[in-house]
Amino acid sequence: VSTITTFAGSDVGVWEVVRLEPVAGESLESIARLEVIEGIDRVDGARWTLRGVPSYERYVTRVEQRNLIASSPPLGRPEATRAALIPIRKSSGWWDLPQDERREIFERRSHHIATGFKYLPAVARRLYHGRDLGEPFDFLTWFEYAPGDEDRFEELVLTLRATPEWAYVEREVDIRLSREPG
Amino acid sequence: VSTITTFAGSDVGVWEVVRLEPVAGESLESIARLEVIEGIDRVDGARWTLRGVPSYERYVTRVEQRNLIASSPPLGRPEATRAALIPIRKSSGWWDLPQDERREIFERRSHHIATGFKYLPAVARRLYHGRDLGEPFDFLTWFEYAPGDEDRFEELVLTLRATPEWAYVEREVDIRLSREPG
């Protein structure tokens, strides 16, 4: 079952905003803190909210799925006190493509799955889908990692942004977060 | 852009219900008429409402997409005074499968796209996705055809229900509809 998850930009919440930057298209309003709330789609007093559902896999094959499940760490590891929320919207040119051509660009040409896999188990990742909900972003990707893996995470993000897949990204905001240990 | 569409079972609406039958799992409450409303997700006075968005293609290849676009009639043809709404929910066993295995079952083993194609341009079809919206049905498929094509439509539905893909269908309701010409 897909549980809706709401990311609320506000003055409260466990995650402190380290920086919030537009990468493509319009940015989001600056916030001090971020709250992540499962099972609720409205949050009072937030400056903005973004919603998504974990949903099912759109591109992975059986072999990729097996490898990902074996190597993916859970969210909420005590040492993972850094996080990133990267909301993305892709162009209609992407969404009009048939499934085989999207897979071709996504993996054979851009190595999206293989690249993410290289950073496992250091960087935990969860993808939320917002497109069918009518949200302003098609995807919200949430990452968690330890402070010592910050440079590797930066490398992962820059690698993906240099791929042919990213030519279809028309809006992207990069939000980096930090929380107290424990 | 995905426009939400609401199917409202009520006592009003253009479409008269000819029959409403459960095929698998729980049925829906009987209704006299059905309204189809785009862009609105709430309808007052309805006995039930089902919601979906047209969304993007999950399985078709470039060749299939090209053929489908070339042969698919629009909705709302004057002669298409018969319609069917078939809401379906698939099992978690289906949704946990990787993309390649779902495609394998969907098309190579069940010929879902090829079968639908055989009934073009007689049977117009639109698929709405409800899973990410948290709806009780994953899909709402809407069909429109002329009274003379009723037997062929029945054949299409029975063909699909006999496929390996249908082993994953855990809830299905079959609603047949009719409207006045003109």
Which residue of B53, B66, B89, B100 to mutate against A (max A Cβ within 10 Å)? Answer: B100
Q: CA-nearest residue of chain B to A55?
A: B132
φ, ψ for residue A121, nearest 5 deg = -90, 15
Q: ipTM score here?
A: 0.91
Distance from CA of B86 to the nearest CA of A (A): 20
The enclosing H or E element of A60 equals: none
Give the per-residue pLDDT at B156.
98
Give the per-residue pLDDT at B44.
84
Which residue of B99, B101, B105, B108 to mutate against A (max A Cβ within 10 Å)? Answer: B99
- Token look-up 């809006």 returns A171
Any residues with CB less than 8 A from the CB of A88 and at least 6 apart, and which? A137, A138, A139, A140, A141, A169, A171, A172
The residues that bridge with A38 in the sheet, in sequence order, are A5
- Mean residue pLDDT of chain A comes to 95
B34 band by pLDDT with thresholds 50, 70 and 90? very high
The reported pTM is: 0.94
d(C-alpha B25, C-alpha A136), whole Å: 35
Render pLDDT for B36-60 as a digit per residue (tens, 0 to 9). 999 887 788 899 999 999 999 999 9
A1 band by pLDDT with thresholds 50, 70 and 90? low
d(C-alpha B177, C-alpha B15), whole Å: 6
d(C-alpha A127, C-alpha A65), whole Å: 14
User: Per the CB < 8 Å rule, is A103 touching B103?
Assistant: no
Give the per-residue pLDDT at B6.
96
Output the CA torsion sign for A93, A94, A100, A104: positive
Q: CA distances (Å), A128 to each of A132, B15, B101, B129, B143, in order? A: 11, 37, 22, 16, 31
Alpha helices in A21-149 (DSSP H): 62-71, 92-95, 99-103, 112-118
Q: CA-nearest residue of chain A to B104?
A: A61
Query: Which residues of chain A neighbour B106 with C-beta distances below 8 Å?
Result: none
B51 closest CA partner among B129, B144, B127: B129
Render pLDDT for A32-80 as a digit per residue (tens, 0 to 9). 999 999 988 778 889 999 999 999 999 999 999 999 999 999 999 999 9
Look up residue B169 and give its two tokens: 């269908």
Query: Which residues of chain A neighbour B134 with C-beta distances below 8 Å?
Result: 2, 4, 53
Is residue A182 scored above 80 in pLDDT? no
Render pLDDT for B16-26 as a digit per residue (tens, 0 to 9). 999 999 999 99
Determine contact, residues B86/B143, Cβ cutoff 8 Å. Answer: yes
Render pLDDT for A114-151 as a digit per residue (tens, 0 to 9). 999 999 999 999 999 999 999 999 999 999 999 999 99
Is residue B8 scored above 60 in pLDDT? yes
Give the per-residue pLDDT at B43.
82
Question: pLDDT > 90: what percent of chain B?
Answer: 92
What is the mean predicted confidence (pLDDT) over A99-114? Answer: 96
Give the per-residue pLDDT at B163.
98
